[in-house]
Chains A and B, each alone.
Chain A
Amino acid sequence: MNLVFALLMGTIFGTVLVKSEVASWFRIQKMFRFEEAHMFLIIGSAVAVGVLSIVLIKKLGLRTLAGEEVTIRDKPYQKGVVIGGIIFGAGWVITGACPGPIYAQIGSGEYWALCSFIGAFCGAYLYALLRPRLPH
């Protein structure tokens, strides 16, 4: 049942990424050049709705569909937040896509985005191999 909901929500999310052009290289360029507010307004309003919904979940003590307590894994500070974050920012500019939009570009028929996907897969593998030697 969980997987059915995951598929459904992924489908809605993918539709939104394409229809709002969040998955567009052109929009990402305009965001990083501060030429239009579109992306900032989307991220801002998404976070506002997200904050509100988490406050509500905690206040009302809502439980998951399976009846479990809602838990959110902590992502504590480590040096990778800064170093990895900057590296990802560069990748975001070059590909015109963060991870979700890479999948969305492929689905929409931009098949050259498969290069971005293969790169991201290799990048994750590279991190796995180098992880013991990287500062954290």
Chain B
Amino acid sequence: METLTQPWPWYVAGPLIGLTVPALLLLVGKPFGISSSFRHLASMCSPKTRVAYLRDNDWRGELWSLVFVLGVIIGAFFAAHYLSNSAVHLLPDHYRQWSGGLRLFIGGLFVGFGTRYADGCTSGHSIMGLSNLKWPSLLATACFFIGGMVSIFVLDALFPMP
């Protein structure tokens, strides 16, 4: 039990995440990917839309995606409440106020817009696409890191750490 409640090392977490790929392919018959859930939620919430990207999207046929992210929420709750000895902190303190919430919202906009424009995120491109040895996914992964490193540089210049 002690080993379970400690943070899990990379050689446990990495292979478990990798196994999600064959598990989903074989048991559910779907390639791994999470950011498409934002599209399905948007389609679900606008049944009479004329926006092609949301209208021409069979979200009912991709219901597994929404069920999967529901599972992620449940699993995270379980991990934080029953597999952790101390309180779980995944965000820094300065984000737990309205100015931080605004920053998270803006960051979220970038995540939702960027992943849909790129047609995948860390799971769909960096895990699933790379596992399938697809070069556009390698390019996408490189761009994720370029965008991340540039924004760390810009944010450090705009908001210097005290």
Which A positions have Cβ atoms within 8 angstroms of B?
Answer: 2-3, 5-26, 29, 32-33, 37-38, 41-51, 53-54, 56-57, 62-66, 68, 70, 72-78, 80-110, 112-113, 115-129, 131-132, 134
Contact = CB atoms under 8 A, between A and B. Distances in A.
A76 B22 CA distance: 21
Interface residues of B, number: 117
A107 B74 contact: yes
Contacts, number: 469
Nearest to A95: B107
A42 B14 CA distance: 4
Given A53-B21, A89-B145, A121-B42, A107 B108 contact: no
A101 to B, nearest CB: 8
- Which secondary structure characterizes the binding site on chain A? helix
Q: Is the interface of B mostly helix, strand, loop or mixed?
A: helix
A126 B29 contact: no
A67 B85 CA distance: 43
A100 B72 contact: yes
B17 A72 contact: no
B92 A95 contact: no
Interface in B109-160: 109-137, 139-152, 155
Contacts of B139: 77, 81-82, 85
Given A14-B75, A104-B72, A126 B8 contact: no
B16 interface: yes
